[in-house]
Amino acid sequence: MTDEHLRRCVELAAEALAAGDFPFGSVLVGADGKVLAEDRNRENTDADPTAHPELRLAQWAIANVPAEERGGCTVYTSGEHCPMCAAAHGWAGLGPIVCAASSAQLAGWRTGWGLPSSPVAVLPVTDVVPGLPVTGPVPPFDDEMRALHEQAAGMFYSTGPRSTKL
Ligand SMILES: [Zn+2]
């Protein structure tokens, strides 16, 4: 089950990248194991730097899942939630998170590739939502995400004015 959902997250991340967005994808699964919603990063498509799939899924859950059922929902995601999405997840009252790659992994990869650091602090989800069950990284999906992020680094950073800094 976990593998199937994480595989879908990696697929959604690849779809995002193919559309010119950053490679992130997430799936919201109900207590009965049924997929309720899925989304991918749309930051460039929507010209909205907050268009993260984890935030969109939290908002979708608030609109579509009764509050008392949200704690039974699990969010599978290609990369651990950023603090913004973690906070939305916590406010929505959603349940466990399973991530292919951790935020610490992504930050380490970016540093290794000479990319600028994120404007938002890199924090574990549990620093933002204490006590939330978070599983990850989950091999081999973390390696698959590393490959997608490396591809994105080449697309979004190596040919611009920043390339002189790399
Ligand atoms: Zn986010």
- Which tens digit of pLDDT belongs to each residue from 136-158? 999 999 999 999 999 999 998 86
Query: Is 161 a residue whose pLDDT tops 50?
Result: no
In this predicted structure, what is the pLDDT of residue 158?
Answer: 65
Q: Could you tell me the distance, in angstroms and rounded to a whole number, from the CA of residue 95 to the centre of ligand 1?
A: 17
Tens-digit pLDDT profile for residues 72-124: 999 999 999 999 999 999 999 999 999 999 999 999 999 999 998 889 999 99
Q: Could you tell me the distance, in angstroms and rounded to a whole number, from the CA of residue 41 to the centre of ligand 1?
A: 9
Query: Is 49 a residue whose pLDDT tops 60?
Result: yes
Residue with tokens 């049924």: 34
Q: How many CB atoms lie within 10 A of CB 5?
A: 22
Q: Could you tell me the distance, in angstroms and rounded to a whole number, from the CA of residue 45 to the centre of ligand 1?
A: 16
Enter the tokens of residue 1. Answer: 């089950």
Q: Compute the C-alpha angle 98/10/62, nearest 5°.
A: 50
Q: Could you tell me the distance, in angstroms and rounded to a whole number, from the CA of residue 70 to the centre of ligand 1?
A: 19
Q: Could you tell me the distance, in angstroms and rounded to a whole number, from the CA of residue 97 to the centre of ligand 1?
A: 13
Q: Could you tell me the distance, in angstroms and rounded to a whole number, from the CA of residue 104 to the centre of ligand 1?
A: 14
Determine which of 19-23, 27-31, 162-166 has the lowest per-residue pLDDT on average: 162-166
Query: Is 31 a residue whose pLDDT tops 80?
Result: yes
In this predicted structure, what is the pLDDT of residue 165?
Answer: 40
In this predicted structure, what is the pLDDT of residue 166?
Answer: 39
Q: Could you tell me the distance, in angstroms and rounded to a whole number, from the CA of residue 84 to the centre of ligand 1?
A: 5
Gap between the Cα atoms of 85 and 38, Å rounded: 15
Q: Look at residue 101 and give its three-state secondary structure.
A: strand
pTM confidence score = 0.93
Query: Is 23 a residue whose pLDDT tops 70?
Result: yes
Contact of 47 with 56, CB cutoff 8 Å? no
Q: Could you tell me the distance, in angstroms and rounded to a whole number, from the CA of residue 54 to the centre of ligand 1?
A: 6
Mean pLDDT across the chain, nearest whole number? 94
Residue 2: in which H helix or E strand, if any?
Answer: helix 2-18
Q: Could you tell me the distance, in angstroms and rounded to a whole number, from the CA of residue 115 to the centre of ligand 1?
A: 18
Q: Look at residue 148 and give its three-state secondary structure.
A: helix
Q: Could you tell me the distance, in angstroms and rounded to a whole number, from the CA of residue 55 to the centre of ligand 1?
A: 6
Q: Could you tell me the distance, in angstroms and rounded to a whole number, from the CA of residue 124 to the centre of ligand 1?
A: 12
Gap between the Cα atoms of 136 and 138, Å rounded: 5
